[in-house]
Amino acid sequence: MVHPTPEYRPCVGVALINSAGLVFIGRRRNKGAFDTIAPPHLWQMPQGGIDDGEDPYIAAKRELFEETNVSNTELLAEAPRWLTYDLPSEATQRWKGKYRGQTQRWFALRFTGNESEINIHNPAGGAHKPEFDEWRWEKLANLPNLIVPFKRRVYEQVVIAFADFAAR
C-alpha cells in the first residue's frame, strides 16, 4: 500500500547488505543545476519512486536493479513505517511544486550474488541511465554522515531499523 500523503512522492529505499554486514552505497552523479551537493554528502543507498499500483517491495527490487544491476537478493526486513523528508526549495523545482518531499518505505536485502553482478555504469543492461559514478561497501552506522543533510534523519532511522543485520 502506498503512503496516502499526496504532498510527498512515494518512494522506496534499499539497504543492500553483503555477507560481511556492510552496506552498498553509491556516489550520486551530478544531475544538473539544482543538484548542488558537495562532498562528502554525495553517497546514498539505492532509492526511487513507486509506480502507480506497484507493491513497495517489488518497487524496491526494481529500483535496485535499475541502479545497480543487482537481482540476487533475499529479504531481511522491512522498516516498520514510512520515513519522510522535505526537499530543499531549490530541489522542489524539479517536480514543479507537485511534491514537498519524499516518503519512503525501506527494505534491508541480503546480497546473495557475486560482486561482478554489480554494474553501476550500465545498470539494467543499459535500459536506465546511471545514477552513480562510483560505489563501495560501508558500515551502516557511517551512512548518516555521508548523505545530504536533508536526508540525514531518515538515514538515522534506517540505521536503527536495520542495525541487527549490519556489521558493528
Section 111-132 average pLDDT: 93
Q: Half-sphere exposure (CA, 13 Å, Cβ side) for 78?
A: 13
* Tens-place pLDDT, residues 10-24: 999 999 999 999 999
What pLDDT does 33 receive? Answer: 44
Q: Quickly count: other Cβ atoms within 10 Å of residue 51's Cβ.
A: 12
What pLDDT does 36 receive? Answer: 53
* Tens-place pLDDT, residues 22-44: 999 999 887 554 445 566 678 99
Q: Which residues are paired to 84 by β-bridges? A: 103
As a three-state string, the secondary structure of 36-53 is CCCCCCCEECCEEECCCC
What pLDDT does 34 receive? Answer: 45
